[in-house]
Amino acid sequence: MMTFAGRFGALVPLLRGTTQFIKCAVLSGAKELLPATAPGGIRLAHTDIKIPDFTDYRRPEVTDPNKSSQDSSDARRAFSYLFTGATTVVGVYAAKTVVSQFVSSMSASADVLALSKIEIKLNEIPEGKNMTFKWRGKPLFVRHRTEKEIAAEEAVNLAELRDPQHDKDRVLNPSWVIVLGVCTHLGCVPIANAGDFGGYYCPCHGSHYDASGRIRKGPAPLNLEVPYYEFPDDDTVVVG
Amino acid sequence: MAASVCRVGSTMGRVLAQTRSPLLLSLRRGQASVSYAQSLLGAPETRLSTLDNGLRVASEETGHATCTVGLWISAGSRYESEKTNGTGFFLEHMAFKGTKKHPQSALEQRVDSLGAHLSAYTSREHTAYYMKTLAKDLPQAVELLSEVVQNCSLSEAEIEQQRGLVLRELEEVESNLQEVCLDLLHATAFQGTALGHSVLGPSNTARNISRQDLVEYIDSHYKAPRMVLAAAGGVSHQELLALARSHFSGVSFEYEGDAVPVLPPCRFTGSEIRMRDDALPLAHVAIAVEGPGAASPDTVPLMVANAIIGSYDLTCGGGKNMSSRLARLAVEENLCHSFQAFHSSYSDTGLLGIYFVTDRNHIDDMMHWSQNAWMNLCTTVTESDVARGKNALKATMVGQLDGTTPICDDIGRHVLNYGRRIPLAEWDARIDAVTPKMVRDVCSKYIYDKCPAVAAVGESSFQLRFLNRWPVKVR
């Protein structure tokens, strides 16, 4: 078989061949070819090259030189590919994380985001009083209502309202009304505890709001806006 | 009228060709006096017998006036250990330096007077001693061969003398870079195993080998069941058998301590070795994957595959019109000085690869296109490629057996590898059975996504980027 393969394309057979013609002359002085000692650096023939022993680096299935490596090749390949695949996935995920961290660094910073919420201590606001806070660049009214005001607002007939909304739809806790202090007509800031309905009065064009912030009289079309808020405990409200 | 006759004639020809019956084919009065099919079927049969001690005798009577007779032995560097590597090669040097009955001068005289040629070779799994002589001198040839193999004198003086010769030969082989490259390929591909040993052995063996080592080698490996007495030429099998009985009956078939040597499998390691020497003008590179053993049915499709890749060297006249794609590229892009696809097969494993010689600027490209040629075999080889490969292979096979010596060598190696001689007609049938799908499947099995072994010698200021083709990679 080797000769066939060997003779493809006029290749000298891969056999190591020596033709010994009987007429070969006896070589004189053959002894001179034998070096007395060969220092470690000189290699006399390519057959003296020793392939290093890589057993320490081999996988356990291929440490035995007398076992064909074909049997374990599928398993070894599967492990390599699995490992590479998993590493690639992790690597891609890491890359994505790094990139998105850099990209998201261009979004709003923490101090800006911190302004989006406001925490208000409610025990500082006495009953009947309205306090104004600056929130997101706009005035925020926090009104501590009395029982009389609550009862009055809840009894209002919705048919009379330009923008019908029941009081309980505008407050979480009836004693506290939290609305944006921006008139829905043209944006002026209404004055608290003024007007004909015991709520707010906008001096710019004469809009009257009640104690629930609903429009009653005047040019404003809608009730005062109620932002999102929640009571983490009885004494605090977080708006935003 | 004439046109229709022609058309009928060609139709008949096609029908005859398609039926493939030898009788019908012979009716075609083509150029040959004997059709291809007839010539294959008419080849003389190889007769095989076995002696009582297990020695096999095989011969083919070709009718020549000369003959080649020889002894093929399952012994070689694969049977040697790291310490004894090179013994077989040294022994081959000692073989013709005299026997117990004939001192060297007498042996030389006898062979000369016959006008014969006495030769030997050692390879990794086989050793052969053979003689080419006139057919009528067969008895003398067998006698001399039996002397040489069984009763080699192995004189101390001769051993000392041969040391220098073997060292000189080792030196000389360093200049044959093809040998060096392929030896290194085996050394790295089968590292740590017996197949990694070079046949020549390290220089230490030549310097330190003793008569005892040689005697031990002969005693452990020259056993009758591992030997074949093969002959081809004007020889009669009966005569050869009688001669074998009288001369070779004494060959031992028992091992000391009943220790029959069993060849363990040899592990293949995908790896690389580079012997870099920028002073050399060219780089010799071999890349190979593990292939099947000699007796595997996959060898025939792989031989066809290798024929498709083919070979090339600068002296080829075909230029860019050659059929092998790699050869065309080699010419057009000036990729290499020569390349060839090879398949070395041993009893249970083998190396399937491509060897090329090129200069420093084209190594990466040549490596890339060689692997491309492999991938082409695995994926897109076509019907016409395979047909061409089959024809080339058949032509090579038949053309190689052009004398008594190649035939005798064929017989010897076949009996050792397969247990019988595979006749050309059988090769032909097996080759015909190869289809493109078979080539693709078999090549994928051995090449696709497998680790190659690479050996490079010479001028190599290169990276040898064989990692750039994904499915063919090194782990």
Task: Give the pLDDT confidence of B360-382 residue by residue, as tens digits.
Answer: 889 888 999 999 999 999 999 99
Regarding whether B92 and B240 lie in a shared domain, the answer is: yes
Assess whether B229 and B317 both reside in one domain: no
Mutation target to probe the B interface, by most B beta carbons within 10 A, among A11, A44, A46, A79 is A46
| Confidence class for position B213, pLDDT limits 50, 70, 90 | very high
- Note whether A18 contacts B184, CB cutoff 8 Å: no
Same structural domain for residues B208 and B347?
no
pLDDT at B32: 65
- The answer to whether residue B21 sits within a structural domain is no
Average pLDDT score over residue span B10-34: 55
Cβ contacts (< 8 Å) between B202 and chain A: which residues? 45, 47-48
**Closest residue, chain A, to B94 (C-alpha):** A20
pLDDT digits (tens, 9 = 90+) for B36-57: 877 888 888 999 999 999 999 9
Q: Which residues contact B96 (CB under 8 A, 6 or more apart)?
A: A20, A22, B104, B107, B118, B120, B148
User: Is B3 part of a structural domain of the chain?
Assistant: no
CA distance A102 to chain B (A): 33
Residue B472 has pLDDT above 60, yes or no: no
| pLDDT greater than 80 at residue B13 | no
Binary contact (B92, A18; C-beta < 8 A)? yes
CB contact under 8 Å between A22 and B96, yes or no, is yes
The letter for the amino acid at A193 is N
* Residue B74 located in a structural domain: yes
Domain holding B157, by residue range, is: 46-249
ipTM greater than 0.85: no
Residue A7 has a pLDDT of 39
Residue of A46, A166, A185, A205 marked catalytic: A205
- A209 contact partners, CB below 8 Å, separation of at least 6: A190, A195, A197, A199, A200, A201, A202, A215, A216, A220, A223, A224
Decide if A1 and B417 are in contact by the 8 Å CB cutoff: yes
Query: Do the chains contact at B180 and A18, CB–CB below 8 Å?
Result: no
Q: Is the pLDDT of residue A3 over 50?
A: no
Tally: H helices and E strands in chain A: 4, 11
Edge-first strand listing for the sheet containing A176-180? A130-135, A138-144, A176-180
What local confidence, expressed as pLDDT, does residue A240 receive? 84
What pLDDT is recorded for position B20? Answer: 53
> At which of B202, B218, B249 does a domain end?
B249
Residues B355 and B181: their CA atoms lie apart, in Å, by 9
Which residues, in sequence order, are CB contacts of A42 under 8 Å at separation 6+?
Answer: none
Is a pLDDT exceeding 60 seen at residue B10?
no
pLDDT at A15: 43
- Per-residue pLDDT, B2: 47
How close B272 comes to chain A (CA, Å)?
Answer: 10
Q: What is the pLDDT of residue B372?
A: 92
pLDDT (mean) for B168-186: 93
Query: What is the distance of C-alpha A86 from the center of its chain?
Result: 20
DSSP for A9-56, written as a single string? GGPPPSSEEE---TTPPPPTTGGGGS-S---TT----GGGPPPP--GG
Question: What's A150's DSSP letter?
Answer: H
pLDDT at residue B191, as a whole number:
94
* pLDDT at residue B255 tops 90: no
On whether residue B20 sits in a domain, the answer given is no
Residues B300 and B199 in one domain: no
CA distance B371 to B441: 17
Shortest CA gap B31–chain A (Å):
27
Size of interface A-B (CB pairs under 8 A): 196
Tell me the chain B residues in contact with residue A37 when contact means C-beta distances shorter than 8 Å.
Answer: none
Over residues B215-253, the pLDDT tens digits come to 999 999 999 999 999 999 999 999 999 999 999 998 888
Average pLDDT over residues A119-129: 88
Active-site positions of B? 92
Distance (Å) from the alpha carbon of A93 to chain B's nearest alpha carbon: 24
Among residues of chain A, what percentage have pLDDT more than 70? 82
Give me the pLDDT at residue B351, please: 96
Q: Which of B234, B249, B264 is the last residue of a domain?
A: B249
The pLDDT-based confidence of A1 (bands split at 50, 70, 90) is: very low
Instruction: List the single residue in B89, B203, B348 with the smallest CB-CB distance to A16.
Output: B89
Given B188, B215, B249, the domain boundary residue is: B249
CA distance B266 to chain A (A): 5
Is A166 one of the annotated active-site residues of the chain?
no
Q: Which residue of B has its CA nearest to A69?
A: B267
Tell me chain B's radius of gyration from C-alpha atoms.
Answer: 25
- State both tokens at A129: 């009083």
Nearest to A45 among B111, B188, B203 (CB): B203
Whether B127 and B212 share a structural domain: yes
Reported pTM: 0.75
Mean pLDDT, residues B435-461 taken together:
89
Are B241 and B283 members of one domain? no
Tokens of B171: 């030196």
Alpha helices in B60-153 (DSSP H): 87-95, 104-114, 138-150
Find the closest chain A residue to B344 by CA distance.
A2
Chain B residues within 8 A of A77 when measuring between CB atoms: 449, 475
Lowest mean pLDDT among B9-13, B356-360, B432-436: B9-13
Mean pLDDT, residues A182-207: 91
Q: Are residues B297 and B402 in the same domain?
A: yes
Domain assignment present for residue B206? The answer is yes
Query: Does position A21 have pLDDT exceeding 60, yes or no?
Result: no
Given a cut of 90, whether residue B260 has pLDDT beyond it is no
How many domains would you assign to chain B? Answer: 2
What are the tens digits of pLDDT across the range B184-201? 999 999 999 999 999 999
Identity of the residue in B202, B340, B451 whose CB atom sits nearest the CB atom of A47:
B202
Residue A215: CB atoms within 10 Å = 25
In this structure, are B224 and B283 located in the same domain? no
Q: What is the mean pLDDT of chain B?
A: 88
- Share above pLDDT 70 across residues of chain B, in percent, rounded to a whole number: 89
β-strand partners of A138: A135
Residue B182: give its domain's CATH number. Answer: 3.30.830.10
- Is pLDDT of B287 > 60? yes
Whether B264 is in a domain gets the answer no
Within 8 A of B161 by CB-CB distance, chain A residues are: 26-27, 30
Tally the C-alpha atoms within 13 A of residue A194's C-alpha that lie toward its C-beta: 9
Indicate whether B107 and B205 sit together in one domain: yes
Q: A47 to chain B: which residues are within 8 Å by CB?
A: 86, 170, 183, 198, 200-203
Same domain, B202 and B307: no
- Average pLDDT (A186-195) is 91
| Per-residue model confidence (pLDDT) at position A34 | 47
B383 vs B255, higher pLDDT: B383
pLDDT at A213 over 50: yes
**Does the distance separating the beta carbons of A19 and B290 come in below 8 Å?**
no
Q: Please, which pLDDT band fits residue B21 given cuts at 50, 70 and 90? A: low
Nearest CB to A8: which of B290, B342, B413? B342
What's the distance, Cα to Cα, between the start and end of chain B in Å? Answer: 69
Among A22, A67, A72, which would you mutate to test the B interface (most chain B Cβ atoms within 10 Å of its Cβ)? A22
Least confident of A115-124, B234-243, B430-439: A115-124
pLDDT at A5: 39
Does the distance separating the beta carbons of A54 and B170 come in below 8 Å? no
Please indicate whether, in this complex, the C-beta atoms of A9 and B299 are within 8 angstroms of each other: no
Across the interface, whether the CB atoms of B200 and A16 are under 8 A apart is answered yes
- Give yes or no: residues B98 and B160 share one domain: yes
- On whether both B330 and B188 belong to a single domain, the answer is no
Contact list, A11 vs chain B (CB under 8 Å): 178, 311, 340, 342, 355
Q: Is residue B13 part of a domain?
A: no
| Contact partners, residue B458, CB within 8 Å, separation at least 6 | B177, B275, B276, B277, B280, B281, B282, B283, B284
On whether residue B242 sits in a domain, the answer given is: yes
